[in-house]
Structure 1
């Protein structure tokens, strides 16, 4: 008789865990509080505009493809994507622009011609990023950090002797300031701290691992939009016979004799051999695990930043914009001081604009664009968000107008807003933090919840709030690490 597994949440990690357990021979039931799968990786429409709800950057596509291969399916029958020729287009208010070409030599020459930064500095930086990745990914991204077997091997010993070279004792900003002579280049590479909700002036330089993914490996775009990652994995799960319960909020994890034995949802108990929680770890302990022993030290850790997103339908095509665009603040350090120390929003924020209609024209009416317009903001600590949002909207529009030489306000014909409060309510992310606990200190990698419970047997965890962290690739790897622990 097959064993049964229950997955709480159908975010990208929950879907991946469900598929992996099904391949292992488990009967899998997935309980999702929302009406559809995906969590942050979902979609919606306003009028004739389609938007991806959350993550907009796609790297390490092989982590998605591996799930189809594992299930004995051809990935191309479910999912397709392209490699981007330009990873991002950067803008400053003084008129300077940089296109981050996928071709590293071309990108290096672009930086030299536009900013006066020697091309060799870019090549050296990306070689260093590759070194960090190749040194750390086998240890931190592909294995549990909470098991002795991870540390009792040659890779761990090598890591111990290389800690200084890997940037653990320096900040990202300090490392980048040593590498580059032009402040704009330091700012460009400091930006990668935001990929896991961190502050480049505090987070360790080990996070300079991130540019390797975008440049040395590449940035990609699913041909049907980011939501197709969710949809394709959901289709695979259905084909494998995985059962989904939507609009089914889990009220409690059932525990007997320190063993997870199932869940309670809608007043009914569902028993299982194992339970995998894909819900935000903090909110899980506050709700469905509130009667169990609490990991107070982890729960009380500072949280990552959040986001304020304006989904805009724009009645114009801006040919100077790409899929990913950044309009930089004139004072990056002050911007991060507002986010992490003042818990507010700086008057001159860095604006990220994602426009999927460039590669998927049916995401917007002809002659129009769908703008996913985002700034980094603090997580929710009871601020007056209505006031902050109104002020930020005004400042974002002014920033866009100054940088692009336009008047964007009359062109906005559709709008939806996502702020830390709605991120928390829609995705159960504690305080609306996008990446769980903060990574703003050198020990952050060790301050994430393990992929299993040390107090409750047969209870496991996956997703962005636990090891190895947030973002699509790490969420998929968390599902892999988790399910490899399960017999």
Structure 2
């Protein structure tokens, strides 16, 4: 075993961040800005994690998140390094948040302006439905404002703190509908089942089903209602910009770096093993799915970290189809949703571990919403929910499924030329292979149940010097939430920035042999 010479000193503590997805990049930037010497380790050849691309004849196509919401989270991230987000990426705010399609030709656009959305709903489903939307929008605005500080912005929310917060504002209780699922609440709020189906879809943004997710998840609507931005060139431009920024600040980035284990000595994280190399550090941040720690894949000593993640059900995964083609049919927005005819059947299939027979399809027209006409050959991403899986074995039904979804799109009036092949579909099995111990789940543990959000691991762990960040930790899944998790971890580390260099070096040399 070769022990890398410690480079840290009392004046500049050393941090290792494992995983260069959005959370790892954000953590690295905050720590290096705060005075740490940071090494960022990424097991793949590219940074970005689930913000990734596949090649196409029209250039790289996003195969993960497609838009930016809660922009203030990213403005604050860049500001911590005395930079401006707009100096690193070009953002284009969308007037149309999403365009929705149903069989039979029904179509509805939702807008950044809530009154514009209400007018569109009135034309779509009548004045009564528009009034119902206004009440829904007001209710979810209230919920978002009420729970932003004590839940999302809090590093470790507790039920004992949330209950008094709610009791001081009794009007929150009916807005939360604590005894209802999201589907039940929406069915009471909307007389038109299409609108209940539409807003129930937000449960899938955190990998859940509306009939099993708590009603309070309706506040996810406000993440989009507060503004949707397209990153010019694709979402991967954001992580590319962050990668360049952290490197310019001195972060040492090592790609193709597979971490065998996190080294623990006397219940303290003191470094990581990379093959026959041992890197020492004062602080280690694991910015991957915490289930990898709970299952012991990063070392037996770490099974005490986030043990619930090894037991609780996993969120949904997805089949993601990325390709280039020329579309024909109705005009597309950047965000487009083609709804299943039977919304409950889709979720029944998912909960039974089956690929839905009639899935709702999300289509991102990546070159739309860019303030200029799209090129002839456009980039597209189709996302369909799928169950998580524990196997890496490729599915045998891809060709049949691919034909099914392309036929479904054609039935809704949208065809692609040339017809894409199944070669660029990313499956849950592939996600499981790319992101160890996730079971292919894209959002960590399941959001089902009233207290699911309080069961997520937080940044602090029972191992001293080891911290967590990422979509599998509090405050949850999605690019803004994963970025907030990095803030929670970095602020906790920086607030207790007493140097432990001497003790870390002693532990490394006393606990490991050199070869």
- For normalisation by structure 2, the TM-score amounts to 0.88
Contact 2:336 2:362 in 1 (8 A): yes
**Equivalent of 1:193, from 200, 203, 206?**
203
Whole-Å Cα distance in 2 between the matches of residues 69 and 482 of structure 1? 17
Deviates more, 1:413-422 or 1:1-10: 413-422
Tell me which residue corresponds to 2:409.
Answer: 400
Change in 2 beyond 3 A, CA 1:153/1:166: closer
Tell me which residue corresponds to 1:240.
Answer: 249
Tell me which residue corresponds to 2:234.
Answer: 225
Compare CA radii of gyration and give the structure with the larger one.
2
Q: CA deviation at 1:388?
A: 3.6
Contact 2:109 2:117 in 1 (8 A): yes
List aligned pairs for 1:9-408, cutoff 5 A.
9-116=19-126, 117-145=128-156, 151=161, 155=165, 158=168, 162-215=172-225, 217-286=226-295, 287-294=297-304, 295-316=306-327, 318=329, 320-340=331-351, 342-359=352-369, 366-382=375-391, 386-404=395-413, 406-408=414-416
Q: CA deviation at 1:382?
A: 4.5
Whole-Å Cα distance in 1 between the matches of residues 168 and 51 of structure 2? 36
Q: Which string of whole-angstrom CA distances, capped at 9 and with x for unpartnered residues, describes residues 291-320 of structure 1?
A: 433354331100000000111221345561
Tell me which residue corresponds to 1:5.
Answer: 15
Whole-Å Cα distance in 2 between the matches of residues 463 and 411 of structure 1? 36
Change in 2 beyond 3 A, CA 1:382/1:257: closer
Q: CA deviation at 1:322?
A: 1.0
Whole-Å Cα distance in 2 between the matches of residues 212 and 231 of structure 1? 27
Q: CA deviation at 1:169?
A: 2.1
Contact 1:141 1:468 in 2 (8 A): yes
Tell me which residue corresponds to 2:473.
Answer: 466
Aligned to 1:485, the other structure's residue is in SS state: helix
Change in 2 beyond 3 A, CA 1:5/1:362: farther
Q: Which string of whole-angstrom CA distances, capped at 9 and with x for unpartnered residues, describes residues 125-168 of structure 1?
A: 111111111111111111122679x8399747647984453233
**Which 5+ residue runs of structure 2 have no aligned equivalent?**
1-10, 497-515
Whole-Å Cα distance in 1 between the matches of residues 372 and 379 of structure 2? 10
Contact 2:121 2:129 in 1 (8 A): yes
Whole-Å Cα distance in 2 between the matches of residues 339 and 40 of structure 1? 21
Tell me which residue corresponds to 1:476.
Answer: 483
Deviates more, 1:328-337 or 1:410-419: 410-419
Q: Which string of whole-angstrom CA distances, capped at 9 and with x for unpartnered residues, describes residues 339-359 of structure 1?
A: 01x111222110110011224
Aligned to 1:18, the other structure's residue is in SS state: helix
Whole-Å Cα distance in 2 between the matches of residues 152 and 353 of structure 1? 37
Q: CA deviation at 1:225?
A: 1.4
Deviates more, 1:381-390 or 1:100-109: 381-390
Whole-Å Cα distance in 2 between the matches of residues 159 and 17 of structure 1? 34
**Equivalent of 2:460, from 449, 452, 464?**
452
Contact 2:293 2:303 in 1 (8 A): no
Aligned-residue RMSD, C-alpha: 2.4
Deviates more, 1:414-423 or 1:249-258: 414-423
Change in 2 beyond 3 A, CA 1:218/1:201: same
Q: CA deviation at 1:407?
A: 4.6
Q: CA deviation at 1:392?
A: 2.1
Count matched residues.
481
Whole-Å Cα distance in 2 between the matches of residues 409 and 434 of structure 1? 30
Whole-Å Cα distance in 2 between the matches of residues 302 and 68 of structure 1? 35
Q: CA deviation at 1:119?
A: 1.4
Whole-Å Cα distance in 1 between the matches of residues 192 and 301 of structure 2? 54
Deviates more, 1:232-241 or 1:161-170: 161-170
Contact 1:90 1:98 in 2 (8 A): yes
Change in 2 beyond 3 A, CA 1:159/1:241: farther
**Which 5+ residue runs of structure 1 have no aligned equivalent?**
none
Contact 2:394 2:430 in 1 (8 A): no
